[in-house]
Structure formats: structure tokens, C-alpha cells
Amino acid sequence: MQGPKPSDSAPTVDQTWTSRRRPNMNAKILTFSSHGDTTLLEYDPATADMEEVNKVIAEYEAKTGAQPFDMASGERLERVTREQNEVMMVHPIAGG
């Protein structure tokens, strides 16, 4: 048995990510660690309370040490804005 070809399942640069469960949720906060990627939060940037989104990120960062990065630019974020549709929380590497 073979799984889907990478070209069949991997999004292209031009595609926009949207949630399969909630189509209007077109932004997400992911965590990246040695355990794999996990969705921490999905939200609609047009209607989301960005203070609440940043509060969730700050609490997660304080608890785990993970730092938020904008996936489009690769830059470390101090605050998430409506323009950042995909943020990756990167956990520190032990001994690194």
C-alpha cells in the first residue's frame, strides 16, 4: 500500500490554509517540538480578539519556553497581528 504522493497532500505556496472543521478559521498557532507538530489554537483573524490570541501565546511561552515565529517570514514575533496567519511555537532544544 502506498500513501498519497507528496504533491497530492502538501499545500503549495499559493494555497491558503483553512480549517477542515471550521472553514472560517483561517489562522492557526502550531507548536513544534521533538514530539511533532500540534495545533494549539485556530482562529479567524477578521473577528478574533487578538489580545486573547496573544495571551494564549504568552501563557504557553511562559509554561514551556517555546517562542513564536511567523511562518511566512521566519521572524521571531513579539506580538501576533491579524496579518500573521500561521505562527509556529518552537520549543528550545535541550543542550543546544
Residue corresponding to grid cell 511533532: 36
Question: Domain ranges in the chain?
Answer: 19-90
Model pLDDT, residue 96: 52
- The answer to whether residue 10 scores a pLDDT higher than 70 is no
**Class of the CATH-defined domain 19-90:** alpha beta
Q: pLDDT per residue over 30-60, tens digit each? A: 887 777 778 888 999 889 999 999 999 999 9
> Could you give phi then psi for residue 87, rounded to 5 degrees?
-120, 135
Please say if the pLDDT value at position 91 is more than 80: yes
Rounded to 5°, angle at Cα 18 from 14 and 22? 165
pTM above 0.75, yes or no: no
**Taking residues 15-35, what's their average pLDDT?**
65
